[in-house]
Amino acid sequence: EVQLAESGGGLVQPGWSLRLSCAASGFTFDDYAMHWVRQVPGKGLEWVSGISWDSGTTGYADSVRGRFSISRDDAKNFLYLQMHDLRPEDTALYYCAKDKRSGSAAYYFDYWGQGALVTVSS
Amino acid sequence: EIVLTQSPATLSLSPGERATLSCRASQSVATYSAWYQQKPGQAPRLLFYDASNRATGIPARFSGSGSGTDFTLTISSLEPEDSAVYYCQQRNSWPYTFGQGTKLEIK
């Protein structure tokens, strides 16, 4: 059974940094691209960042590019999102999501964690 | 950026009725679209990808169709558990975007 479990969320002040982690199990982690998708509570979904199966390619939404960094540790089956210079508009539930296709990313998300809440407020 | 506009915003129907949800893209996304279902307090669940390919475990009463700029999610006979918000998504052009969602209420 595929399981994704996010951790590391919390309340931070504007300008602070935070690192989210996602523990993956139940599938061959290093075969798949992985993504972060966020959702402001009660609002819609926004793809934030993705990383290819081999870490060779990373992508970011314009809203976070230059402030967020995605990485993965295939030995530990972990996905990370390092967030710097956090802004109030980054407040959201951050989901870790598995790409549907092994190898080259499809950018469809077939398994999701339960999310880590990040609140940016002074 | 491709904007996905979903309609209606809210849909209220009775069990056994047919639901038709629409997603319109601001420019063609070919068939590179998906549908997700999200119930309160839960993560989204993939229903369809590449417009009409049913994801694993999705009941046959759900169907997806469309291409270009117009996509449809149809639920042929509603069940009470179909109450949720439904989102479309495109992966044809960067940045990959989602629609704003259609809330389906079962009376």
Position A21 scores a pLDDT of: 98
User: B80 phi and psi, to 5 degrees?
Assistant: -55, -35
Position B35 scores a pLDDT of: 98
Position B93 scores a pLDDT of: 87
Position A105 scores a pLDDT of: 87
The answer, for A89 touching chain B at a CB cutoff of 8 Å, is no
User: A61 phi and psi, to 5 degrees?
Assistant: -70, 150
Rounded mean pLDDT of chain B? Answer: 97
Position A122 scores a pLDDT of: 95
Do residue A47 and residue B95 have CB atoms under 8 angstroms apart? Answer: yes
Cross-strand pairs, A88: none
Query: When comparing pLDDT for B93 and A115, which is higher?
Result: A115
Q: What is the pLDDT of residues A50-104, one digit of tens each?
A: 999 999 999 999 999 999 999 999 999 999 999 999 999 999 999 999 999 999 8
Local confidence pLDDT in tens for the 107 residues of chain B: 999 999 999 999 999 999 999 999 999 999 999 999 999 999 999 999 999 999 999 999 999 999 999 999 999 999 999 999 999 999 998 889 999 999 999 99
Alpha-carbon distance A79 to A76, whole Å?
9
Percent of chain A with pLDDT over 70: 100
Position B57 scores a pLDDT of: 95
Return the number of other C-beta atoms located less than 10 Å from residue B105's C-beta: 11
- Rounded alpha-carbon distances, angstroms, from residue A87 to A10, A16, A20, A47, B107: 13, 8, 16, 17, 40
Position B10 scores a pLDDT of: 98
Do residue A112 and residue B97 have CB atoms under 8 angstroms apart? Answer: no
**A88 preceded by a cis bond (ω within 30 of 0):** no
Which of A44, A100, A115 is facing B98, going by the closest CB pair?
A: A44
Q: What is the pLDDT of residues A35-47, one digit of tens each?
A: 999 999 989 999 9
DSSP A89: G
Do residue B89 and residue A95 have CB atoms under 8 angstroms apart? Answer: no
Cβ atoms B64, B36 nearer than 8 A: no
Torsion, Cα of B35, B46, B99, A92 (10° steps) = 170
Position A51 scores a pLDDT of: 95
Compare all CA atoms of chain B with the CA of A107 and give the residue at the minimum distance.
Answer: B91
Cross-strand pairs, A37: A47, A95
- Rounded alpha-carbon distances, angstroms, from residue A14 to A44, A91, B16: 22, 10, 49
